[in-house]
Chains A and B, each alone.
Chain A
Amino acid sequence: MYRFANPTFFLALAGRLILPCALLAAALLGWGLYMIFVLAPDDYQQGASVKIMYIHVPAAWLGLACYGLMTSSALGSIVFRHPLADVSGKALAPIGASFTFLCLVTGALWGKPMWGTWWVWDARLTSVLVLFLIYCGIIALWEAFDDPLRAARPVAILTLFGSVNLPIVKFSVDWWNTLHQPASVFRMGGSTIDPAMLKPLLVMAAGATLLMLALYLDGMRTEILRRRVRSLQMKQVGQP
Chain B
Amino acid sequence: MIAALLATPYAGYILSAYGLAALITLGLIVRAVLARHSQLKALQDLQNEQD
Mark A residues whose CB is within 8 Å of B.
37-38, 47-49, 51-52, 55-56, 59, 94-95, 98, 101-102, 105-106, 109-110, 112-113, 211, 215, 218-219, 221-222, 225-226, 228-229, 232-233, 236
Contacts and interface: CB of A to CB of B under 8 A. Distances in A.
Q: Is the interface of B mostly helix, strand, loop or mixed?
A: helix
Nearest to A107: B17
A222 B40 CA distance: 9
A211 B39 contact: no
Contacts of B27: 98
Contact of B8 (A48, A101, A106): A48
A35 to B, nearest CB: 12
A94 B31 CA distance: 10
Contact of A218 (B8, B14, B36): B36
B43 A109 contact: no
B24 A51 contact: no
Contacts of B21: 55, 59, 102, 106
Interface residues of B, number: 29
A191 B21 CA distance: 25
Contact of A55 (B18, B28, B43): B18
Given A47-B10, A113-B10, A222-B36, A232 B43 contact: yes
Q: Which of B8, B10, B40, B43 gathers the greatest number of chain A CB atoms within 10 Å?
A: B10
Contacts of B51: none
Contact of A215 (B10, B29, B43, B49): B29
Given A215-B28, A233-B46, A113 B9 contact: yes
Nearest to A59: B21
Contacts of A228: 43
Interface in B1-32: 1-2, 5, 8-11, 13-14, 16-18, 20-21, 24-25, 27-29, 31-32
A105 B35 CA distance: 26
B5 to A, nearest CB: 6
B8 to A, nearest CB: 4
Contacts of B18: 55
Contacts of B25: 211
Contact of A229 (B17, B32, B46): B46
